[in-house]
């Protein structure tokens, strides 16, 4: 009988533990539990797997707290030189137009003259920029307003019937390093490829195969490939999405003409720089939209069209996802794990069903308004944040930065 006691205790303990995992008592805001019968994490309402007492136990009158954002895993911030965006914080060199940052000892934002906290070289370095001090500082509210306008203007986005997505298994962030394929089926069950005949889609797709994905190998463009960059810029600038963006930035005194804006977009996105071996082997466009391989890992690759086309060719194997956005129409957001022809992406976020001009506009907006910082936007009434980073080892024009990367970093309920 004594030998049975430990077994009975173990069984009772297991039953008690199982009971715990069917309730949210002492489990509010815990991480996703794969073995639990139901969940109490902050995203369970979105996924429909909350315990029955979640609402009673975990939400008060003010509702649940915002869930922790997922973080994109990119190597640029880690490898960026110590100087980063503010190599000379006591100077306005390369800082004209930057947003106010209370951590800086002096400032170069358009309103610093009003508050008497400009850096000593503000007048000489930034005076020629044509600031209208009352209107050049882009506020969070203005970013949210323009992003909603861009969202509504995206008439070329996919409709619900255009894409059938099979997201399958959701995992916890702690499982992303396992490199385990938990999804036997492709991510895309169906895509209406008639979308790809639209001018901006066709121009975008023509660019994707113009790059060598391995860093350290120089990029050399033919005359046709350079012309394809111009075609893409011309087509996106014809859209309501980019007209909204340009109108906003011109009102903010960031650009004096559409041609100036287009020229800057071409430089920041398509200008080449070196991620390794002193070769001009990379650009913002290649990194963000096409994807690269560096040190045996996938970097960048944040575009659903590229993902679909590579998956269709058998080059991408979808493993799992850790986040599925709250939008019930396109564009949506998915943060996923996948293998790209032998190389793993631990966390890769992408808009799903958006037009090329939509992504191009939002990433450009955030890079111009919040370079190197989190950019708080609003899409369809839901908050969304984008992180951009500038490339600091080389510049174009009067010290302007190329885009190193841009991606969705968080989205909350």
Active site residues: 287, 302, 345
- Backbone φ and ψ of 83, nearest 5°: -65, -40
Helix (H) or strand (E) holding 191, with range, is: strand 188-191
Kindly calculate the radius of gyration of the chain based on its CA atoms and give it in whole angstroms.
Answer: 24
Say how far apart CA 364 and CA 371 lie, in whole Å.
Answer: 10
Q: Tally the residues of the chain.
A: 413
Using DSSP's 3-state secondary structure scheme, residue 239 falls into coil
CB 248 within 8 A of CB 146: yes
CB 412 within 8 A of CB 334: no
Say how far apart CA 380 and CA 61 lie, in whole Å.
Answer: 24
Token representation of residue 67? 């869930």
> How many Cβ atoms from other residues are within 10 Å of residue 141's Cβ?
10
Spell out the residues 6+ positions from residue 100 whose beta carbon is closer than 8 angstroms to its own: 107, 109, 111, 112, 137
Helix and strand element counts for the chain (H, E): 14, 10
DSSP letter at 128? Answer: G
Token representation of residue 320? 């799992």
Token representation of residue 116? 């008497």
Cα 403 to Cα 353, 364, 389, 391, distances in angstroms: 23, 9, 6, 6
Using DSSP's 3-state secondary structure scheme, residue 136 falls into coil
Using DSSP's 3-state secondary structure scheme, residue 203 falls into helix
């Amino acid at each position: 009988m004594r030998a049975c006691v430990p077994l009975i205790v173990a069984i009772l303990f297991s039953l008690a533990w199982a009971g715990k995992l069917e309730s949210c008592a002492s489990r509010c805001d815990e991480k996703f539990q794969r073995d639990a019968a139901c969940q109490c994490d902050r995203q369970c309402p979105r996924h429909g797997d909350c315990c029955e007492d979640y609402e009673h136990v975990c939400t008060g009158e003010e509702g649940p707290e915002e869930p922790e954002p997922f973080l994109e895993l990119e190597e640029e911030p880690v490898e960026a030189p110590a100087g980063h965006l503010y190599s000379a914080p006591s100077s306005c060199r390369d800082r004209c137009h930057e947003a106010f940052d209370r951590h800086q000892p002096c400032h170069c934002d358009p309103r610093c003259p009003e508050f008497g906290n400009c850096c000593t070289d503000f007048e000489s370095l930034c005076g020629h920029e044509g600031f209208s001090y009352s209107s050049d500082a882009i506020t969070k509210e203005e970013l949210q307003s323009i992003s909603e306008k861009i969202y509504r203007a995206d008439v070329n986005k996919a409709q619900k019937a255009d894409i059938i997505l099979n997201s399958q298994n959701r995992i916890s962030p702690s499982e992303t390093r396992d490199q385990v394929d938990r999804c036997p089926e492709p991510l895309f069950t169906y895509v209406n490829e008639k979308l790809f005949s639209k001018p901006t889609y066709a121009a975008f797709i023509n660019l994707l195969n113009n790059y060598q994905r391995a860093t350290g190998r120089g990029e050399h463009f033919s005359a046709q490939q350079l012309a394809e960059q111009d075609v893409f810029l011309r087509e996106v600038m014809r859209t309501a999405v980019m007209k909204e963006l340009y109108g906003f930035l011109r009102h903010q005194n960031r650009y004096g003409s559409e041609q100036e804006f287009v020229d800057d977009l071409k430089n920041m996105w398509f200008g080449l720089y070196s991620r390794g071996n002193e070769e001009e082997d990379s650009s913002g466009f290649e990194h963000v939209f096409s994807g690269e391989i560096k040190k045996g890992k996938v970097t960048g690759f944040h575009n659903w069209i590229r993902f679909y086309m590579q998956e269709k060719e058998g080059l991408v194997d979808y493993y799992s996802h850790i986040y599925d956005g709250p939008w019930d129409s396109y564009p949506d957001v998915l943060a996923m794990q996948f293998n790209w022809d032998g190389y793993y992406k631990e966390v890769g976020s992408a808009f799903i069903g958006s037009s090329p001009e939509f992504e191009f506009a939002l990433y450009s907006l955030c890079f111009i308004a919040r370079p190197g910082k989190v950019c708080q936007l609003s899409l369809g009434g839901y908050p969304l944040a984008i992180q951009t980073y500038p490339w600091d080892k080389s510049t174009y024009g009067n010290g302007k930065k190329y885009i190193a990367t841009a991606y969705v970093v968080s989205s909350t309920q």
